[in-house]
């Protein structure tokens, strides 16, 4: 199963139960390698099975035929969802601490995680007192606080205005560069994928399969709005049924 420097994924079939009780294929023949310490994004048509794939990789869904690298089970895994999923009756600091084991270093780790995302001084606030952008930062703080081996992101910047989203994308890049975690991000935003990723996995319509794995060849210090838009347009021209601008 293991390929050098990567986690191997081979989901042969996955189906949901339809309203009439018959199986509805979601994934058929989805295979790829997730490179270690790289930033990989997944793009595909709406409803093609991207989130289902994440659920399988995180161990939340075991009803499939196939195999994934055994190291997924041994790795420290963190997930950031479309919604921040902060417990409203706990403070921001308490929400971050939920991901950490008890111990003398817990408070220091929480403080460091909040400082990493620019929320130092806001740990005693409750989620209702945060803006959506701040809540998304708190979710990232919780994810990175555990020092994950693998971080899964499911549309982490959806519904944010572009200025706030861009600020958080840069924050995510800074954290990734600092901790060198393996990242797999699901997104519909091709420009976002091009800006952030080393590789982009393109999935077909349901049932999902891998159509191509694209290497983003732009140097990271050259990924300005013009170059990322141009690269995105080229992808959309090559894969018009998968990539939407």
* 56 has pLDDT over 80: yes
Q: Are 211 and 238 in contact (CB under 8 A)?
A: no
**pLDDT the model gives residue 3:** 40
Does the predicted TM-score (pTM) go above 0.85? yes
Which pLDDT tens digit goes with each residue over 103-129?
879 999 999 999 999 999 999 999 999
User: How confident is residue 2, by pLDDT bands cut at 50, 70 and 90?
Assistant: very low
Beta strands, E only, 123-215: 150-154, 182-186, 199-203, 210-215
Fold of 6-75+149-238: Rossmann fold (3.40.50)
Task: Tell me the C-alpha distance between 116 and 112, whole Å.
Answer: 6
Which pLDDT tens digit goes with each residue over 179-194?
999 999 999 999 999 9
DSSP labels for 118-140?
T-TT-TTS-GGGS-HHHHHHHHH
**What three-state secondary structure class fits 18?**
coil
**pLDDT the model gives residue 1:** 33
In this structure, what token pair is assigned to residue 184?
A: 């797999």
* 44 has pLDDT over 80: yes
- Domain positions in the chain are 6-75+149-238
- What's the whole-number mean pLDDT along residues 40-60? 93
């Amino acid at each position: 199963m293991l390929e050098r420097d990567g986690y191997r994924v081979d989901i042969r079939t996955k189906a949901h139960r339809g309203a009439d009780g018959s199986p509805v294929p979601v994934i058929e023949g989805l295979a790829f390698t997730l490179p270690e310490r790289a930033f990989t994004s997944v793009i595909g048509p709406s409803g093609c099975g991207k989130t289902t794939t994440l659920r399988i990789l995180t161990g939340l869904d075991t009803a499939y035929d196939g195999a994934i690298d055994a190291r997924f089970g041994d790795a420290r895994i963190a997930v950031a969802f479309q919604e921040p999923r902060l417990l409203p009756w706990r403070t921001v600091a308490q929400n971050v601490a939920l991901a950490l084991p008890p111990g003398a270093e817990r408070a220091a780790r929480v403080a460091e995680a909040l400082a990493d995302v620019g929320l130092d001084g806001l740990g005693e606030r409750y989620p209702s007192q945060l803006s959506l952008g701040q809540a998304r930062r708190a979710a990232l703080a919780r994810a990175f606080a555990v020092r994950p081996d693998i971080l899964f992101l499911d549309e982490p910047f959806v519904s944010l205005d572009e200025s706030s989203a861009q600020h958080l994308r840069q924050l995510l890049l800074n954290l990734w560069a600092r901790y060198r975690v393996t990242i797999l991000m699901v997104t519909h935003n091709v420009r976002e994928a091009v800006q952030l990723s080393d590789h982009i996995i393109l999935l077909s319509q349901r049932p999902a399969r891998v159509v191509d794995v694209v290497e983003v060849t732009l140097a990271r210090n050259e990924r300005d709005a013009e170059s990322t838009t141009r690269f995105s347009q080229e992808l959309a021209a090559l894969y018009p049924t998968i990539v939407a601008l």
